[in-house]
Amino acid sequence: MSENAAPKPSVERLPEQRSRLVTDELNKILTMLKGACPDDAIVSFDFDGRLHVHVDVHSFEDLLKVEGILPILGGGMFHGLTRGETPHRPFHHRLSAIVDR
């Protein structure tokens, strides 16, 4: 056998193409909410089989404004609105809703 065997071609792996569908969709919802809520509102999500959004605001007046806007925002994609406690934010008001998308 020859010691000068042909070198094996080097093949670079393509970067993995991970699906960003869920992240992209959540970012669209977040952008929509941030545009409709007060600048200092804190928006968060949680998922327990259904997607929930939580909007924490400083004043009760801001809570009322968000409560009036949320049901019509995004063609009615937010429903089941509830007011609740804001964990670790004693001077905020929280409005939560279920997101259907």
Average per-residue pLDDT for the chain = 89
Model confidence band, residue 2 (pLDDT cutoffs 50, 70, 90): low
Q: What is the pLDDT of residue 18?
A: 72
The answer to whether the CB of 88 falls within 8 A of the CB of 68 is no
Provide mean pLDDT across the span 85-98. 91
Q: What is the pLDDT of residue 64?
A: 96
> What pLDDT shows up at residue 17?
65
pLDDT for the residue 13:
73
Check pLDDT > 70 for residue 3. no
Pairing of strands 42-47, 51-57: antiparallel
The residue extents of the domains of the chain are 40-99
Residues 23-39, mean pLDDT to the nearest whole number:
95
- The pLDDT tens digits of the residues spanning 66-75 come to 999 999 999 9
Checking if the pLDDT of 87 tops 60, the result is yes
Contacts of 81 (CB under 8 A, 6+ apart): 67, 70, 71, 95, 96, 97
